Chain A
């Protein structure tokens, strides 16, 4: 049995920050990630981040991942294991993991669950054809492995992921035939939209995909227009040739461990699905289990970094560890989070979070 003060599951923007802030207070940290690269989805984010200087604004996600990793490596009290897939949470507060072919049992006094989220799918005929890929999947293929998904892409969804991945596909030399958005307006940041518009990519708002077609893989799709009641309009069909269709219709939290641990959950569509109740320290209804990042509500990575900080600080403090300026650090994280969520772009998140305070 591996014993530690705090086990952190997931080494993305949330988990890395949780590890850093808990370790800085002196806690013994075990940081686990199933991937063999640290940084979670930061490793494919080639665009610059928004936010403030404290949140590494203007730096690219890939560079933020390197910075955080270097910081984690400075701590002797962080046992960082990549390639460790956590399998389950048990009644006695033990988690198990598969680690390079070995079976691990781990008992931590505190857990920070930072497992992130996964991509949603959209129902339409032939959505199971090879070539229909999650937008994030295509981003991984292109930006992490340097393999092109195809020659010409239809992007479904104009949230930040749809917009950013479209831009990154253009950078990789892939054509983007257009972005299809069911809502009457663009979902993501308009500066991202402007970037791809000036590269000549059309955005079809109030449109959805009617069907994909192709024999053994995608050869194109038919899109059509939606009326004010989101009903498709016959006669508005448009056939677009493409060998890839990217689905960017949102993410849903990867909450399996929270369910297993018996955390109280609630369905909050604004946050991407079922998420846990939490207190101001990001502790769930199960004492000792904290959350940070997309697993507790899908948001931007900047928010995940701050939640990680917060959860790491609080978990360490609850074990009696201290740091001189704890209150200041805690307050800083809280007010930076408030700042990120306070504008019009954060309205959806604010309304979702209101439903979750314990």
Chain B
């Protein structure tokens, strides 16, 4: 249970995961926000209008994945760092995970890093494709990580240089 472990359950993740069809079309945001808290920057930051306007600031975000382009600006603006972008169309055998990474060292392009799951366990290897910094949110770099397609839905963090953040 999320409230006990801090890790969302499969059912919770199902609720925020687009259809297989949409996933295969290209980059799309996955908003892993499951608790009503007073917060709306995801809606405000989205230039595509893909996140539904909040009628109450405590609403959970609702994504219209037909409008989402997977640009990732919401990743850097979400105060909870709870948004990721996944892209199954990246290559025939790799998918892309874009994730917020506020640690040092920021990985180099093409670096091979450990790809971690939602519990910080090593799920496999990933290759850093790009590090994106959005204006005004430069201190929350968004790391583009290429991972085997079967890991796209489980990888949510990285470990750089063989060291965990928890050194």
Q: Which residues of A contact B (CB under 8 A)?
A: 47-53, 57-58, 60, 170-171, 173-176, 184-186, 189-201, 203, 205, 302, 339-346
Contact = CB atoms under 8 A, between A and B. Distances in A.
Closest CB pairs A-B (n = 9): A200-B120, A191-B80, A343-B58, A193-B6, A48-B79, A50-B39, A185-B3, A198-B157, A197-B6
Most chain B CB neighbours (cut-off 10 Å) among A58, A184, A343: A58
Nearest to A300: B38
B37 to A, nearest CB: 5
A52 B53 CA distance: 12
Interface of B: 2-8, 32-41, 44-45, 56-58, 77-82, 102-104, 116-121, 137, 139-140, 156-157, 164-167
A50 B37 CA distance: 8
A58 B41 CA distance: 6
B118 A194 contact: yes
Contacts of A60: 139
Contacts of B3: 185-186, 190
Given A58-B77, A198-B157, A340-B38, 13 more contacts: A51-B38, A52-B57, A57-B40, A58-B137, A170-B103, A173-B104, A189-B80, A191-B81, A193-B6, A194-B8, A197-B119, A201-B120, A205-B5
Given A51-B57, A191-B80, A339-B57, A175 B166 contact: yes
Q: Which of B117, B137, B167 has the most CB of A within 10 A?
A: B167
A196 B6 contact: yes
Nearest to B35: A190
B165 A340 contact: no
A52 B44 CA distance: 9
B62 to A, nearest CB: 16
Given A198-B119, A198-B120, A201-B166, A344 B36 contact: yes
A198 B39 CA distance: 22
Contacts of B103: 170-171
Nearest to B100: A195
Contact of A192 (B56, B77, B80): B80
A68 B71 CA distance: 31
A160 B56 CA distance: 22
A198 B58 contact: no
Nearest to A168: B102
**How would you classify the secondary structure of chain B's contact residues: helix, strand, loop or mixed?**
loop
A192 B34 CA distance: 12
B167 A199 contact: no
Nearest to A179: B6
A47 B41 CA distance: 14
Contacts of B8: 194
Given A57-B39, A191-B35, A199 B165 contact: yes
A127 to B, nearest CB: 24
A220 B164 CA distance: 21
Contacts of B57: 51-52, 339-340, 342-343
Contacts of A198: 116-120, 156-157
Nearest to A203: B6
B147 to A, nearest CB: 14
B103 to A, nearest CB: 6
A185 B5 CA distance: 8
Contact of B7 (A192, A194, A205, A339): A194
Nearest to B3: A185
A206 to B, nearest CB: 8
B80 A345 contact: no
Contacts of A189: 35, 37, 80
Contact of B166 (A199, A203, A343): A199
B82 A194 contact: yes
A170 B164 CA distance: 9
Contacts of A195: 80-81
